[in-house]
A = this chain, B = another copy of it.
Amino acid sequence: MESQDLRRAGLKVTTPRLKILEILAGSGIEVLRHLSAEDTYKRLLESNEDIGLATVYRVLTQFEAAGLVSRHHFEGGTAVFELNRGEHHDHVVCLDCGRVEEFADADIEALQGKAAERLGFSIADHSLIVYGHCQRTGCAYRKA
């Protein structure tokens, strides 16, 4: 039950929070994993939920603070959110169709860490995004 996650995060269990968590968790489909606030809002409307956009932003921000979701800034001024599933990973974004794929590479992580240490930094976080073009059928239809 998702209510547990909310309680554990010290948040009251409310409809908006449950529904948003559901939407983030429900779309197991990888292409739909990364949602903007607006995307999430639209999904809520489609589900006939009467939840304001401001609440969506508030809830997503709280989820982020609670460690339930991650916020990413892919290019285009709009932030996207994704449910945390434990393991860290980086992203590849298709410039044509917006498709987002994930990958994890321990070697890259290690090298990053070394580079930052060499400069006298203790690492708190990092963001690695590769932009490219995917060679998939159906590509380019989402951006249009």
Contact = CB atoms under 8 A, between A and B. Distances in A.
A135 B122 contact: yes
Interface in A94-134: 94-95, 101, 103, 105, 107-108, 111-112, 115-116, 118-134
A103 B131 contact: no
A94 B123 CA distance: 9
A143 interface: no
Indicate how many identical chains form the complex: 2
Interface in A60-76: 73, 75
A92 B122 CA distance: 10
Given A115-B103, A128-B127, A120 B135 contact: yes
A111 B134 CA distance: 18
5 interchain residue pairs of minimum CB distance = A121-B132, A126-B130, A123-B132, A125-B131, A103-B115
20 contacts: A73-B73, A90-B115, A92-B121, A101-B121, A103-B118, A105-B112, A108-B115, A112-B128, A112-B130, A116-B130, A119-B134, A120-B135, A121-B130, A121-B132, A121-B135, A122-B135, A123-B131, A125-B131, A126-B130, A128-B129
